[in-house]
Amino acid sequence: MRPLISEMFGTFALVFFGTGAIVVNDLSDGIVSHAGIALTFGLIVLAMIYALGDISGAHLNPAVTMGFWAARRLPSRLVLPYITSQLLGAIAASLLLRRFFLNHSTLGATHPAGTSMQSFVLEIVLTLVLMFVILAVSTGAKEKGITAGIAVGAVIALEALFAGPISGASMNPARSIAPALVTLDMTHLWVYIAAPLVGSFLAVPLCRSIHQNGCCDHAT
């Protein structure tokens, strides 16, 4: 149970602080700023990798879990329990934010600024890069160590800085599903479920073609 509790708590922290930064920014006339929001997402992921990487791998993201599974680093029996734990943690975070901020309409939900297809393609590319980096710096199915924490946290902050105003830079179905469910607004949610999964799967053959060890078949 320890890895599942780890994934639940880690994803709770990610959604609570990340989407919470968006909510606070909206309610404080932009004091947090777009850069501050991106940094919040990057820092909380970095912190959770250091705190939980040795326990569960600190996936915090169903797309990452599926990417590790596709790379044959994660046993099939752990996929559904991991994803369920991540979703429960994310939903708990959005429910707590709803309790704090009753008047906020979106709770940091992700929505395309342009067309759905624009955000769909962008989210694929963002998740592809993120998963490629994760596969390159992780050990087995675990993101752990100084290199992994800094690299993964930096990529998330960078991608949020770059793409946040366009697609929301979700890269994480749990992060998008939770506020959508709590606010009962599932418009365009398919983009933020399908695109990260596609990007995560595409990262596996890309990593295999670049790295000598193939980024696959590591011991978990």
In a domain, 220, yes or no: no
pLDDT exceeds 60 at position 122: yes
Count the domains in the chain: 1
Q: With residue 41 as reference, give the H or E element that holds it.
A: helix 33-52
131-154 exposure pattern, b = at least 16 Cβ within 10 A, e = fewer: bbbbbbbbbebbbbbeebbebbbe
Is residue 111's pLDDT more than 90? Answer: yes
Distances (CA, A) of 216 to 25, 60, 64, 138: 40, 20, 14, 11
User: Six-digit token pair at 37?
Assistant: 């929001």
Give the model confidence (pLDDT) of 130-142 as tens digits: 999 999 888 777 7
Average pLDDT rounded to a whole number, residues 144-173: 93
For the segment 199-203, the average pLDDT, to the nearest whole number, is 97
Looking at per-residue pLDDT, the higher value among 214 and 211 belongs to 211
Q: Is 216 part of any domain?
A: no
Q: Out of 52-61, 104-113, 181-190, 206-215, which region has the weakest mean confidence (pLDDT)?
A: 206-215
Q: For 61-105, what is each residue's pLDDT tens digit? A: 999 999 999 999 999 999 999 999 999 999 999 999 999 999 999
pLDDT band at 4 (very low <50, low <70, confident <90, very high): very high
* Residue 108 near residue 22, CB atoms below 8 Å: yes
Residue 150 located in a structural domain: yes
Q: Identify whether 180 is part of a domain.
A: yes
8 Å CB contact between 40 and 17 = yes
Instruction: Confirm whether 110 is domain-assigned.
Output: yes
pLDDT of amino acid 219: 39
Type of residue at 139: T
DSSP-derived secondary structure for 107-149: TT----SS-HHHHHHHHHHHHHHHHHHHHHH-BTTB--SHHHH
Indicate whether 29 belongs to any domain: yes
Distance of CA 195 to the CA centre of its chain: 12
Q: Is 81 exposed, middle or buried (0-12, 13-18, 19+ CB in 10 A)?
A: middle
For residue 181, the model assigns a pLDDT of 97
- Write down the pLDDT at residue 214: 61
Question: Above 60 in pLDDT, residue 60?
Answer: yes
Residue 219 lies in a domain: no
Distances (CA, A) of 121 to 72, 114, 118: 25, 12, 6
Whole-number mean pLDDT of the chain? 93
Are 74 and 68 within 8 A, CB to CB? Answer: yes
- Residue 26 pLDDT greater than 50, yes or no: yes
CATH number, domain containing residue 164: 1.20.1080.10
Overall average pLDDT of the 164-193 stretch: 96
pLDDT tier at 24, thresholds 50, 70, 90:
very high
Q: What is the pLDDT of residue 108?
A: 95
Q: Which amino acid is at 52?
A: L
Q: Does 83 fall in a domain?
A: yes
Domain that holds residue 67: 2-210
